[in-house]
């Protein structure tokens, strides 16, 4: 990367220790700040999933776990009550102590987690002090210089405006470095305090692969580096150009490859990587991190923006998938012992029609002259699908009466992510226009293994033969009813699984945009017959490891 320097050095004001009379009020302030920070991180997580995939975005899941750590919260509460001090000071003391414990560890990866602890801590302090971090939306493409970048900062970067990144602190295993790699931004971390001396606007050059920085490149160096950059960009463009071609097997079977997006701005990125539509538009970003539900018009604007960007390509909008582990501040959802088995997805929406109906109205309004489809999450019973469809019919009647245009033939599909849905897939297929398999949740429910629990991580793999058999049952039931079956879970974006998924009979695969080129390439390398034989072998394997070994041997 070659470009002008932008120094990014956000500073929170000094935290002052103040004596307080009402310790209960200070604790309440801290709890509120932690909750607000949690909502922000949830939004960042969804954005990162779209930009870089669920694997890299898991950074933010770790941040959420830290915020939920009872020991951390209890330590801060103890500071407030025993020392009778303000929430800001108590929280900062707790964060510093926790980060220092990480820094004292021998393992380099664990030492790097201190930056994550501080990131979360700063976010909560920002809420307590009512401060916003500076914008990262530069006037012109630049090289970002910082003491360190938090994962939150990195997730906010626009790859079109950030040519490269240099930080004083951090290492190759720091989460900001991982995210920068996933975004395709050249980065060098851990360069030391001398970066402070770089003047705003001065031209520098970096080579992220070699870890080299030129602070005053001469003409010859600039020419050489520019040639290297052109070669690198040319290869990037070649990959994206090839990805614009359809994914067709050697024996001419077409597999639709779509993108999962978390907001309307992601549609353009999806197209750039070769998406042939949007297989999953997560709508939670509109509803979370705010004090009240979005208006119907706000939602229409977002859905239309995405649909316009996609042109004549389809956009599948998943209705609100919150509840339990994804709280809304303006709905009292109560506390649940096991939120993954609780009041979420379509269950929540059917109860909260004051939130659900405006969303259905917005989707239908946006469908006028656009290729939009509706998809309901976490359907586990036929009665749920029938109730949701009845609401769609009710909203259609209202709009018709109001003389508001919409697509009267809009397709309505469901996510298959609950084992009960697989068991009654033949019934559901008679009422749905399509199925989309969500392998992330389906895996944890089929295997009874929490995907966030490291002790059962081996079980919580979508390569488990039991999960693969559920996928096959779903595909067969859908095809028997003449509806198409797609997949929008993490497995869809793994090129190792592509041949097997084609062999299982999937018609569409939807994934994070950067995964599209590799998956399309994998489709082009196989025949339908070979894929089917591979899938049949995978279904007979004894473990996820055996399936993975089989697929690796096939590559």
Q: Tokens in use for 474?
A: 């779903």
How far is the CA of 341 from the CAs of 179, 315, 337, 416, in angstroms? 31, 28, 9, 15
Q: 3-class SS at 301?
A: helix
| CA 43 – CA 49 distance, rounded (Å) | 10
Give the span between the Cα atoms of 392 and 378, in whole angstroms. 17
Distance CA 497, CA 463 (A): 8
488 flagged as catalytic:
yes
Please state the φ and ψ torsions of residue 412, each to the nearest 5 degrees: -125, 120
Q: Are 156 and 136 in contact (CB under 8 A)?
A: yes
Task: Identify the burial level of 444 via C-beta atoms within 10 angstroms of its C-beta, where 0-12 means exposed, 13-18 middle and 19 or more buried.
Answer: buried
Of the candidates 523, 433, 419, 427, the one whose C-alpha atom is nearest the C-alpha of residue 471 is: 419
Determine contact, residues 64/124, Cβ cutoff 8 Å.
no
From the list 45, 79, 349, 488, the catalytic residue is 488
DSSP class of residue 53?
-
H-run or E-run covering 279: strand 278-282
From the list 63, 175, 349, 370, the catalytic residue is 175
Among this protein's residues, is 370 annotated catalytic? no
CB count, 10 Å around CB of 147?
A: 16
Q: Is the dihedral of CA 491, 494, 495, 496 positive or negative?
A: negative
Output DSSP code: residue 339. Answer: G
**Whose CA is closest to 149, among 185, 125, 198, 98?**
185
Please check whether residue 435 is in contact with residue 425, taking contact to mean a CB–CB distance below 8 angstroms.
Answer: yes
Q: Which tokens belong to 101?
A: 């414990």
Helix (H) or strand (E) holding 476: helix 465-480
Active site residues per annotation: 175, 488
């Amino acid at each position: 990367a070659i470009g002008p320097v932008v120094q990014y050095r956000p500073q929170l004001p000094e935290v002052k220790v103040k004596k307080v009379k009402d310790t209960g009020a200070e604790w309440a302030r801290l709890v509120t700040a932690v909750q607000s920070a949690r909502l922000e991180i949830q939004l960042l997580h969804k954005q990162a999933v779209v930009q870089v995939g669920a694997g890299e975005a898991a950074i933010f899941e770790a941040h959420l776990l830290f915020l939920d750590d009872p020991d951390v919260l209890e330590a801060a509460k103890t500071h407030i009550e025993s020392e009778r001090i303000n929430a800001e000071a108590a929280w900062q003391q707790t964060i510093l102590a926790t980060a220092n414990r990480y820094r004292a560890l021998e393992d380099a990866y664990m030492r790097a987690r201190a930056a994550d602890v501080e990131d979360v801590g700063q976010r909560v302090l920002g809420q307590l002090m009512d401060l916003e971090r500076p914008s990262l939306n530069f006037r012109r493409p630049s090289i970002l210089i910082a003491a360190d970048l938090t994962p939150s900062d990195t997730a906010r970067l626009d790859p079109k405006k950030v040519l490269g990144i240099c930080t004083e602190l951090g290492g190759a295993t720091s989460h900001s470095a991982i995210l920068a790699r996933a975004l395709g931004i050249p980065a060098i971390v851990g360069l030391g305090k001398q970066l402070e001396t770089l003047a705003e606007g001065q031209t520098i050059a970096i080579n992220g692969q070699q870890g080299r920085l030129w602070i005053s490149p001469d003409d010859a160096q600039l020419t050489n580096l520019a040639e290297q950059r052109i070669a690198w960009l040319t290869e990037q463009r070649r990959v994206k150009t090839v990805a614009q071609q359809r994914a067709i097997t050697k024996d001419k079977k077409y597999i639709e490859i779509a993108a999962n997006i978390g907001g309307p701005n992601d549609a353009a990125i999806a197209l750039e990587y070769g998406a042939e539509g949007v297989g999953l538009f997560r709508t939670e970003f509109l509803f979370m991190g705010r004090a009240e539900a979005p208006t119907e018009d706000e939602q229409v604007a977002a859905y239309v923006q995405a649909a316009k960007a996609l042109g004549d390509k389809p956009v599948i909008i998943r209705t609100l998938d919150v509840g339990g582990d994804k709280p809304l501040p303006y709905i009292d959802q109560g506390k649940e012992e096991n939120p993954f088995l609780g009041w979420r997805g379509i269950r929540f929406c059917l109860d909260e029609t004051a939130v659900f109906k405006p969303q259905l109205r917005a989707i239908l309004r946006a469908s006028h002259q656009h290729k939009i489809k509706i998809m309901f999450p976490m359907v586990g019973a036929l009665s749920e699908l029938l109730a949701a469809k009845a609401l769609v019919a009710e909203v259609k009647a209202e709009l018709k009466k109001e003389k508001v245009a919409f697509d009267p033939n809009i397709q309505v599909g469901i996510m298959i992510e609950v084992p009960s849905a697989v068991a009654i897939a033949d019934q559901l297929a008679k009422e749905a226009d399509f199925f989309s398999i969500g392998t992330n949740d389906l895996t944890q429910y089929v295997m009874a293994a929490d995907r966030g629990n490291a002790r059962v991580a081996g079980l919580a793999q979508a390569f488990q033969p039991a999960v693969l058999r559920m996928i096959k049952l779903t595909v067969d039931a859908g095809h028997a009813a003449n509806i198409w079956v797609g997949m929008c879970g993490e497995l869809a974006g793994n090129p190792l699984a592509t041949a097997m998924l084609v062999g299982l009979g999937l018609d569409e695969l939807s994934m994070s945009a950067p995964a599209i080129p590799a998956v399309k390439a994998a489709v082009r390398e196989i025949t339908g017959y070979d894929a089917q034989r591979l899938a049949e072998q995978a279904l007979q394997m004894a473990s996820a490891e055996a399936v993975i070994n089989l697929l690796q041997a096939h590559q």
